[in-house]
Amino acid sequence: MTSIDTDNGFQPALIVVDMQEDFCPPNPLGVQGGRDLVPLINEIIQYPGFVVRVATQDFHPATHISFASNHPAPNNNPFESHIQMTNPAVVGSDPTATIAQRLWPAHCVQNTPGAEILPAIRMDKIDAVVKKGMDERVEMYSAFADAFGNRDCKATGGASADLEAILREKGVTDVFVVGLAGDYCVKHTAIDAAERGFKTFVIEEGVKCVDAVSGWQEAKVELAARGVKVVGLDGLEVGRVKVGI
């Protein structure tokens, strides 16, 4: 784990994850309550303490490997079926590695209305947008790396920008994460932020999950095990960015 230079004290960033049309009802991958997060996330975006605010955006090609419609029947049922996904052989990683990939309805296809960030989100307050999942060969839940942990996603065309570089440029020490979905892209983005040495928090009221019943409880266990703290809006951590200290 890379350590962060804290000589500059508390330099917090906000990451707003995938607040997009296709992740909100009534779309096929809509997360229950996803749209209801907008007023709260807009409030958080405007907290004065953040030194940088970043939004992430799933931005898949129509041929993306995670889409059930891109695989033959009968093992291509959205939400239920899995395929074996192979590492896209990025230099410095194991090109023979495979992992199980859950299949989803087609979603957030590049340059379609479903990929758009919800128009009510205060994008005028956002400093940078990181498009991700642009490589058809591999899933990319985290905005820092693909599912195999490959970090050079900007260079390989999987992402539009290097999120870690954005945060380093601003001298960020702490990262706060909100958005969709808590049990997938929020979780993996937060874990990767902690892995890179940022003190990382997920604001509990600011997330909703794909698996509404068990997804968040399981995610919280994994987040805690990986060094991410789940905090509330009324907690001391969020209080610091509310007042800008």
Q: What amino acid positions are annotated as catalytic residues?
A: 18, 132, 185
Element (H, E) at 15: strand 12-17
What is the token pair recorded at 139? Answer: 């899933």
Element (H, E) at 179: strand 174-180
Please tell me the distance from the alpha carbon of residue 84 to that of residue 151, in angstroms, as a whole number.
21
Element (H, E) at 231: strand 229-231
Please tell me the distance from the alpha carbon of residue 240 to that of residue 236, in angstroms, as a whole number.
6
Q: In a 3-state reduction of DSSP, which class is residue 30?
A: coil
Percentages (nearest 5) of helix, strand, coil residues in the chain: 25, 20, 50
